[in-house]
Protein backbone atom coordinates (compact mmCIF):
# COMPACT_ATOMS: atom_id res chain seq x y z
CA UNK A 1 0.00 0.00 0.00
CA UNK A 2 1.27 3.49 -0.81
CA UNK A 3 0.11 6.49 1.24
CA UNK A 4 0.90 10.21 1.27
CA UNK A 5 1.73 12.03 4.51
CA UNK A 6 0.82 15.64 5.31
CA UNK A 7 4.10 16.86 3.74
CA UNK A 8 3.42 15.17 0.41
CA UNK A 9 5.87 12.31 0.98
CA UNK A 10 4.84 8.91 -0.29
CA UNK A 11 5.50 5.84 1.81
CA UNK A 12 5.24 2.19 0.86
CA UNK A 13 3.88 0.38 3.87
CA UNK A 14 4.17 -3.20 4.93
CA UNK A 15 1.61 -3.70 7.72
CA UNK A 16 -1.01 -1.10 6.98
CA UNK A 17 -4.35 -1.17 5.29
CA UNK A 18 -5.82 2.09 6.59
CA UNK A 19 -6.74 0.59 9.95
CA UNK A 20 -5.25 0.85 13.44
CA UNK A 21 -3.26 -2.29 14.20
CA UNK A 22 -2.58 -1.73 17.89
CA UNK A 23 -3.31 -4.81 20.00
CA UNK A 24 -3.16 -4.79 23.78
CA UNK A 25 -1.62 -7.63 25.82
CA UNK A 26 -4.10 -10.37 26.67
CA UNK A 27 -6.39 -9.63 23.72
CA UNK A 28 -5.01 -12.56 21.70
CA UNK A 29 -4.16 -10.33 18.73
CA UNK A 30 -7.47 -8.48 18.65
CA UNK A 31 -6.60 -5.21 16.92
CA UNK A 32 -8.28 -1.84 17.40
CA UNK A 33 -9.33 -1.59 13.70
CA UNK A 34 -10.42 2.08 13.85
CA UNK A 35 -9.31 4.20 10.88
CA UNK A 36 -5.58 4.96 11.05
CA UNK A 37 -4.59 8.61 11.15
CA UNK A 38 -0.92 8.02 12.03
CA UNK A 39 1.82 5.79 10.67
CA UNK A 40 4.32 4.70 13.29
CA UNK A 41 7.80 3.42 12.43
CA UNK A 42 9.71 1.16 14.82
CA UNK A 43 13.55 1.06 15.03
CA UNK A 44 13.50 -2.01 12.76
CA UNK A 45 11.75 -0.01 10.01
CA UNK A 46 8.46 -1.85 10.56
CA UNK A 47 5.54 0.51 9.89
CA UNK A 48 1.96 0.21 11.05
CA UNK A 49 -1.18 2.33 11.24
CA UNK A 50 -2.58 3.77 14.48
CA UNK A 51 -5.69 5.74 15.42
CA UNK A 52 -5.24 8.90 17.51
CA UNK A 53 -6.15 7.16 20.79
CA UNK A 54 -3.79 4.21 20.29
CA UNK A 55 -0.95 6.54 19.27
CA UNK A 56 -1.12 8.02 22.78
CA UNK A 57 -2.27 5.05 24.87
CA UNK A 58 -1.55 1.94 22.79
CA UNK A 59 0.76 -0.80 23.99
CA UNK A 60 2.32 -1.40 20.58
CA UNK A 61 2.85 2.34 20.02
CA UNK A 62 5.41 2.44 22.85
CA UNK A 63 8.25 1.29 20.61
CA UNK A 64 7.58 3.75 17.77
CA UNK A 65 10.47 6.12 17.01
CA UNK A 66 8.86 8.17 14.22
CA UNK A 67 5.30 9.32 13.62
CA UNK A 68 3.76 10.60 10.40
CA UNK A 69 0.27 12.05 10.23
CA UNK A 70 -1.88 10.94 7.31
CA UNK A 71 -4.07 13.30 5.34
CA UNK A 72 -7.75 12.53 5.17
CA UNK A 73 -8.78 11.13 1.80
CA UNK A 74 -9.89 13.91 -0.51
CA UNK A 75 -8.09 16.59 1.52
* pLDDT attached to residue 43: 86
Task: Tell me: pLDDT of 45 over 60.
Answer: yes
* pLDDT attached to residue 75: 45
DSSP 8-state class, residue 36: P
State the average pLDDT over residues 41-51: 88
Distance CA 25, CA 52 (A): 19
Task: Tell me: pLDDT of 10 over 70.
Answer: no
Closest CA to 55 of 14, 8, 21: 21
b (16+ CB within 10 A) / e for 10-32: eeebeebeebbbbbeeeeeeebb
pTM, two decimals, is 0.73
Amino acid sequence: MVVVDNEGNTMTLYATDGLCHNAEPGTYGHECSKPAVWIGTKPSGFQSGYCAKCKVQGYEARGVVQWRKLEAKGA
